A and B are shown apart, each in its own frame.
Chain A
Amino acid sequence: MRAIAEGLFTQDDPPKLIGGRDRQSGRIVFPCPPGDQFEPCPLARQGRLWSWTIQRYRPKSPPYAGPAAFRPWALGYVELPGQTIVETRLADIDFGDIAIGMDLELTLVALDPDAAEPVLTHAFRPVGAAR
């Protein structure tokens, strides 16, 4: 399966998100912006949930490229200590179990698992959750 875009996460197993570090201020952002101001830097694989919500209606296409059949999904912001707070899907968790402060780790999920050529996008799941 291919990534939804180049340069978002490393090819390692397990993968890491690729952030950008401001060469002057040291500020870290995600994703790494194009140009010379930021240099790519791997981000921590684990962090804590900073906030969250559930997407309960199908976004308009374009730009949304997910499956035509809609199922609600969880998303949120995960704080990677000392680095940045990244926006991400949440995977392998019941909506009722989501809580700010919970420990999460990076995983990759298919945007549309039933597509002929699924694309992978980043998500965080409870640490140690089974696939």
Chain B
Amino acid sequence: MSDVCIVGIGIHPFGRTEGRSGLDQGVFAVRQALADAGVEWRDVQFAYGASEEAGNPDTMVERLGLTGLQFINVRNGCAAGGSALFSAQTAIRSGQFDLGLAVGFDKHPRGAFNPMPADYNLPDWYGEAGYMITTQFFAAKITRYMHEYGISPTGLGRVAEKAFRNGTHAPHAWRREPVPLDVIMDAPLVSDPYTKYMFCSPAEGGVALLLASERKARELGRPLIRLKAATMRTRPPGSFEVFAPSIDCARGGSATNIASAAAFDIAGIGPEDIDLAQLQDTEAGAEIMHIAENGFCRDGEQEAWLAEGRTEIGGALPVNTDGGCLACGEPIGASGLRQVYENVVQLRGDGGARQVPGDPKTAYSHVYGAPGVSAVTIMER
């Protein structure tokens, strides 16, 4: 079976853009991706679009042109972008199409996400009593993890410090000022042990990726960035997820575990073969736990990894080279695709001041979201 290649990338800067709708940020990204690939909108045969709160993605045909293309909307929580990408690569792998689009955008109101219990098949009292809060879950998960595996609060701070430092070099990032470790550690707590710098914020942004068959990619003459694997999985028994009124005493794995294992299996390589990774870091501890959940280290080794700088841009496994969600914010529909955008930038060697040295050949991306969904990609140049 021939590979699927990413031949065009586009991004609308993340953060807050007053006066520009989420949809228009998506359109901005699509136009950039078209120019990057050297194709026209009329050449695009199909699209999968992801948006959680910014309207139906297929309405962007009004802006881009009424070519009659197949356009399918994807809504899948934090895995929406990953799901759009998975669907797009499957369409090309099937042999039915040669050139397609995965696009994601969003524009969230200020403040924390405000989900309703009924949307997650939960009773109303759960929200009334103050449990429909993602930050509670993230804090409770890392508190347990720190207890079991000896991760320190300073470890959490180091992740946030790295994120803001990397973000200073990413033009699409929202937070572009470095924040010293002591400022991060001494900031007000949001949900113990996390201070305000250790959580990402809902935001705005758009990302577009043009996917092509290998034959089409060669025709376009772009560097061949191959999407070796794209997987999306839901939770196994015994996992600990957002919005859980109870969890099983018999502890199990996570959606991330199985999405990751499946992706490595499909790509035919292992964690030791990955040159850089974008791992869901909606909060500092998530990056720490996801390093292990995705198979890059054993539980508890992260403390030493952080102290040694192994996840820094010049380290053994650079993680979240554009500052991740902590520096970019999280527009749900676009967030997973931003990771893939950043990986393409890095594999092309276009990272500028944040470029991973040593001519990286492989890159990994991972998202996680409620109520226990995960999407992973592995790319090779």
A contact residues vs B (CB 8 Å cutoff): 4-5, 8, 19, 27-31, 50-57, 59-60, 62-66, 73, 75-77, 79-87, 89, 95, 100, 111, 121
Interface stretch, picked from B55-63, B89-97, B184-192, B343-351, is B184-192
B contact residues vs A (CB 8 Å cutoff): 111-112, 114, 116-117, 123-133, 136, 139-141, 143-144, 147, 188-193, 244-249
Q: How far is the CA of A78 from the CA of B48 in the complex (A)?
A: 42
Closest to A99 in B: B147
Question: Do A87 and B131 have beta carbons less than 8 Å apart?
Answer: yes
Question: Do A84 and B249 have beta carbons less than 8 Å apart?
Answer: yes
Question: Do A53 and B140 have beta carbons less than 8 Å apart?
Answer: yes
Question: Do B249 and A82 have beta carbons less than 8 Å apart?
Answer: yes
Question: Do B125 and A8 have beta carbons less than 8 Å apart?
Answer: yes
Q: How far is the CA of A50 from the CA of B114 in the complex (A)?
A: 26
Q: How far is the CA of A29 from the CA of B193 in the complex (A)?
A: 27
Q: How far is the CB of B369 from chain A (nearest CB, A)?
A: 19
Question: Do B191 and A53 have beta carbons less than 8 Å apart?
Answer: yes
Closest to B126 in A: A63
Q: How far is the CA of A95 from the CA of B189 in the complex (A)?
A: 13
Q: List 6 A-B contacts (CB under 8 A).
A: A55-B136, A56-B188, A57-B190, A65-B127, A75-B131, A87-B245
Apart from A29-B245, A51-B143, A56-B190, list 19 A-B contacts with CB within 8 A: A30-B245, A51-B141, A52-B143, A52-B192, A53-B139, A54-B192, A59-B112, A59-B130, A60-B111, A62-B127, A63-B124, A63-B127, A64-B128, A64-B129, A75-B131, A80-B249, A84-B247, A85-B246, A86-B246
Question: Do A77 and B247 have beta carbons less than 8 Å apart?
Answer: yes
Closest to A74 in B: B192
A55 and B141 contact, Cβ closer than 8 Å, known pairs A87-B245, A111-B129: no
Residues of B within 8 A of A73 (CB): 130
Residues of B within 8 A of A19 (CB): 246
Q: How far is the CA of A76 from the CA of B140 in the complex (A)?
A: 7
